[in-house]
Amino acid sequence: MSIDRYAVIGDPIEHSLSPAMQEAGFLSADMTAVYEAHRVSPEMLGPHVACLRYGYRGFNVTVPHKEAILQHLDEIDDDARALGAVNTVVVRDTALRGYNTDAIGFGLALESAGCNPRGISAVVFGAGGSARAAVAYLNSRARRISVVNRDRARAERLVARYDRAEAIAVGEESVATRLEEADLVVNATPLGMGQLSSGNPLPAHACLRGGALAFDLVYGQETPFLRQAAESGCRTVDGLEMLVRQGAASFTLWTGREPDVRAMRAACEREMERRRCFVS
Ligand code: NDP
């Protein structure tokens, strides 16, 4: 019996929850498959991807390869091309086709947090890959999206192709007003995670609307961003649901089947708990 092989490539990759999450998806769908984590340095991306053409059914792509991978693919889905980033590759007869499921994952996570994005005003902190996915999803639905970033030029490049998005630099006066009016505030920076665990994109005395949704793409810990938002009366959600939903969308692209998202979420939670026990 042959076993279908899948992988996630990135550097570093040891922290990835994708192997536990995707294997739970395969198990719940009664499919025999393995999902491996491959640490791939930027210099080895080309040779490694050439090997994945043979023997693998698909793979995920994470930091720092989401943009560089595009040059190694045979075909790129329109949405992924528009985002300029690929996080999912489907292998068919050794041909590689790239997709991006981050925007879908972001949207489904918002929906499951009870947030209807139609006509809302949103503030997104960050202008990197995940912010791009959030803005791509929100642009056709929200009334206004304010992208707040340290590097203003990067925020301007991001918003240039979206008619409802504006760029603001961290520290500009309009950040306070936009936050007061926001129905949704998104942290799409690594502030609050790992070595930046005490970091918070919110200004210290930010005035947030009670009942607004604060969505941190960081997952697995209560970040200063979510703490401050909760203290201001906001509803809060972390990045786990987005991780699970983008992973479930990858699973469907590879297999044509809907995985059991509850099993995938539970596997992530078990894996995070195991790591917490291991560290403490
Ligand atoms: P990128 O590296 O593409 O972008 C990072 C962004 O954060 C940039 O706008 C950068 O600003 C800003 N930033 C970085 N460090 C700081 C800092 N010290 N102070 C202020 N701003 C900072 O990262 P991604 O967009 O891929 O990821 C961002 C976060 O989202 C990560 O924590 C990642 O784990 C998480 N994520 C979660 C996902 C999920 O499914 N839950 C999916 C994807 C990402 P500048 O341009 O000024 O450098």
Q: What is the pLDDT of residues 193-204, one digit of tens each?
A: 988 999 999 999
**Contact 219 CB / ligand 1 (< 6 Å):** yes
Report the residue among 83, 217, 226 best suited for mutation to probe ligand 1: largest number of ligand atoms under 8 A from its CB: 217
- CA–CA separation, 149 and 155 (whole Å): 6
**Contact 129 CB / ligand 1 (< 6 Å):** yes
Task: Give yes or no: 66 in active site.
Answer: yes
Structure letter (DSSP) for residue 258: -
Chain position carrying tokens 């960050």: 126
Q: Which atom of ligand 1 is nearest to the CA of 242?
A: 40
- CA–CA separation, 120 and 233 (whole Å): 18
Residue-wise burial string across 7-36, b where 16 or more C-beta atoms lie within 10 A, e elsewhere: bbbbbebeebbbbbbbbbbbbbeeeebebb
Out of 65, 66, 178, 245, the active site residue is 66
- CA–CA separation, 98 and 170 (whole Å): 33
Q: What is the pLDDT of residues 121-161, one digit of tens each?
A: 999 999 998 999 999 999 999 999 999 999 999 999 999 99
Q: What is the pLDDT of residues 8-48, one digit of tens each?
A: 999 999 999 999 999 999 999 999 999 999 999 999 999 99
pTM (2 decimals)? Answer: 0.95
Q: Which atom of ligand 1 is nearest to the CA of 240?
A: 41
* Average pLDDT of span 102-128: 97
**Contact 152 CB / ligand 1 (< 6 Å):** no
Q: Which two tokens stand for residue 150?
A: 């340290």
Q: Which atom of ligand 1 is nearest to the CA of 105?
A: 40
**Where does the pLDDT of residue 1 fall: very low under 50, low under 70, confident under 90, or very high at 90 and above?**
low
**Contact 189 CB / ligand 1 (< 6 Å):** yes
C-alpha 218 – ligand 1 centre gap (Å): 9
- CA–CA separation, 171 and 61 (whole Å): 33
- CA–CA separation, 152 and 126 (whole Å): 10
Asked if residue 184 lies in contact with residue 123, where contact means CB atoms within 8 angstroms, the answer is yes
Asked if residue 115 lies in contact with residue 107, where contact means CB atoms within 8 angstroms, the answer is no
- CA–CA separation, 19 and 7 (whole Å): 8
Residue 186: is its pLDDT beyond 90? yes
- CA–CA separation, 249 and 256 (whole Å): 10
Chain position carrying tokens 């990045």: 239
Residue 280: is its pLDDT beyond 70? no
**Contact 217 CB / ligand 1 (< 6 Å):** yes
**Where does the pLDDT of residue 55 fall: very low under 50, low under 70, confident under 90, or very high at 90 and above?**
very high
Share of the chain above pLDDT 90, in %: 94
C-alpha 118 – ligand 1 centre gap (Å): 25
**Contact 128 CB / ligand 1 (< 6 Å):** yes
Calculated CA dihedral for residues 254, 259, 261, 263, nearest 10 degrees:
-110
**Contact 220 CB / ligand 1 (< 6 Å):** no
Residue 279: is its pLDDT beyond 80? no
Residue 134, number of CB atoms within 10 A of its CB: 26
Q: What is the pLDDT of residues 233-254, one digit of tens each?
A: 999 999 999 999 999 999 999 9
* Average pLDDT of span 258-274: 97
Q: What is the pLDDT of residues 211-236, one digit of tens each?
A: 999 999 999 888 999 999 999 999 99
Distance of CA 117 to the CA centre of its chain: 18
- CA–CA separation, 46 and 33 (whole Å): 25
Distance of CA 33 to the CA centre of its chain: 24
C-alpha 142 – ligand 1 centre gap (Å): 22
